[in-house]
Structure 1
Amino acid sequence: MAVTRLLLIRHGESEGNVAASAAERTGAPVIELDTRDADVELSPVGREQAEALRAWVDSLDAPVDEYWVSPYLRARQTLSLALGGQPASPRTIVDERLRDRELGILDLLTTRGVQELHPEEATRRRHLGKFFHRPPGGESWADVTLRLRSFFSERLEASPATVLVVAHDAVIMLALYVLLEMSEAELLAFASEHTVRNASVTELVHTDDGWKLMTFSSVEHLAAEGADITTHSGDDDVAHD
């Protein structure tokens, strides 16, 4: 067995997304969120987005053979609602290597907050670049890449043909980096022009020439179901995905 089709879905809008956007909009230094990142729930809009995924899943031209999901609550809620509220099946693999990027001391800080409270980290990030900057206590994109390489090396040859993955903005971006064999420059150029929207679908298909990107961040299913389309970027160090 081997995976030949990957359907990568970002979780629906979360309460963290809403709080982070509100803090950035008002210029607050700190994002008002009491829940730890792993336990952040979907917002009401996020639940509607996740429910809108159900019709899309039902319309797929081939059945999903296996589900991979981040252990974070917002990702598990998205998958559950997309499957009609069904409990996780034996075909569902929950793996911590699919969790969101950890921001360490920059967690819950806005752009203003980083500049005011940790200006040295803003300077280090400018020097090292997005891919290699690791906030104290947190992870760089390179660190997330290492855990994804570990996960893919274990699962891509062991799992069946069609797999649906529910995870986070950074995880989906870095899955493209790994599977499409991008360079750092290619990844950063792509990320600067593209955002993984909430509850969007990105499709990769394996061919004789390797993995090919078929669809990126599609939200046609949301529009078809009348669900709101939200773009909360998790691309910056200060964002809360």
Structure 2
Amino acid sequence: MAVRHGESEANLAHQQAGQRPLVYERGDDEVTLTERGRTQAAALGRLLATLPDGETPELVWCSPYRRALDTWQTAWQAWGADALPVTVDERLRDQEAGAFAHYNLAAIKERFPEELARREAEGAYAFRPPGGESLADVVARLRSLLADLDERAEGRRVLIVAHDSVVLGLRHVIAGGPDAELAAVLEFAPVLNASVSVWRTGTGRFELVRFNDVAHLGP
């Protein structure tokens, strides 16, 4: 199971800015949840509490970023389960935006018009902003992560708490397609806050059960 963090302060700031340029100074790893994000995380915990014993997570792998850690902590408290082993793994961090990190799209257009032209030419999945990562870079680290999980999880059920780029990357890696087909995964964006994506295994291969599901959040 893979979950995107609940609504963050940065998500809200970008939403409120709309088409106006925004400079958001806080570091990406420091951003925490809004009140709505905490409510979403609690709803995730209540969903986990309804799962049958054979479907509940036994291990947690989490992004080191504050909003992901806070999502898991809030969900776990709402779930009311015994403590689970939690591994914080740098490979689950969000896609690094480099020079674009503190700006929304409107501000990037003002400051980096030539880079946006390059993004258009290269494609959103292949484009790497100055000092940042492409989605292909995220996929490369997720391949390494899943190889480790295969060994370290020892068949136990894993909950991953991370970011939209990570959930998209996982969909591509688990499907096993070549990176020449990576652009196709963008059809499933955006991955929503506190959404749940589930893969089932046991037959030597993964089966996608549901993706980007937010039914547990209510209307």
TM-score, structure 2 normalization: 0.90
Instruction: For 1:199 and 1:115, locate their aligned partners in 2 and report how far apart those are by CA, in whole Å.
Output: 29
Higher helix share: 2
TM-score, structure 1 normalization: 0.82
Offset at residue 115 of structure 1 (A) = 1.8
Structural RMSD (CA)? 2.1
Instruction: For 2:68 and 2:62, locate their aligned partners in 1 and report how far apart those are by CA, in whole Å.
Output: 7
Task: State percent identity of aligned pairs.
Answer: 38
Instruction: For 1:175 and 1:189, locate their aligned partners in 2 and report how far apart those are by CA, in whole Å.
Output: 13
* Cα pair distance change 1:171/1:122, threshold 3 Å: same
In structure 2, the partner of 1:192 is 187
**Partner letter of residue 173 of structure 1?**
L
In structure 1, the partner of 2:113 is 119
2:37 is aligned with 1:46:
yes
2:146 is aligned with 1:152:
yes
**Partner letter of residue 73 of structure 1?**
R
| Equivalent of residue 11 in structure 1, options 5, 8, 13 | 5
Instruction: For 2:177 and 2:14, locate their aligned partners in 1 and report how far apart those are by CA, in whole Å.
Output: 30
User: Would you say the 8 A contact 1:131–1:184 is kept in 2?
Assistant: no
Instruction: For 2:181 and 2:167, locate their aligned partners in 1 and report how far apart those are by CA, in whole Å.
Output: 15
Offset at residue 21 of structure 1 (A) = 1.5
| Equivalent of residue 21 in structure 2, options 23, 26, 29 | 29
What does the per-residue CA deviation read over 1:142-172, in whole Å, with 9 as the maximum and x for residues that have no partner? 1111111111111222204211110000000
2:71 is aligned with 1:78:
yes
Secondary structure of 1:38's aligned partner: coil
* 1:159-178 correspondence to structure 2 within 5 Å: 159=153, 160-178=155-173
In structure 2, the partner of 1:235 is none
* 1:225-236 correspondence to structure 2 within 5 Å: none
Offset at residue 186 of structure 1 (A) = 4.7
In structure 2, the partner of 1:237 is none
Offset at residue 196 of structure 1 (A) = 1.1
List structure 1 segments (4+ residues) > 6 angstroms apart after TM superposition: none
In structure 2, the partner of 1:239 is none
Offset at residue 28 of structure 1 (A) = 2.3
Instruction: For 2:144 and 2:185, locate their aligned partners in 1 and report how far apart those are by CA, in whole Å.
Output: 23
User: Would you say the 8 A contact 1:176–1:182 is kept in 2?
Assistant: no
Offset at residue 201 of structure 1 (A) = 0.5
2:205 is aligned with 1:210:
yes
Instruction: For 2:57 and 2:105, locate their aligned partners in 1 and report how far apart those are by CA, in whole Å.
Output: 40
In structure 1, the partner of 2:60 is 67
Q: Which runs of 5+ in 2 are unaligned?
A: none
Instruction: For 2:206 and 2:141, locate their aligned partners in 1 and report how far apart those are by CA, in whole Å.
Output: 19
Q: Which runs of 5+ in 1 are unaligned?
A: 1-6, 227-241
Total equivalences in the alignment: 215
Secondary structure of 1:78's aligned partner: helix
Instruction: Flag the structure with more relative contact order, 1 or 2, with Cα contacts below 8 A and sequence separation at least 6.
Output: 1
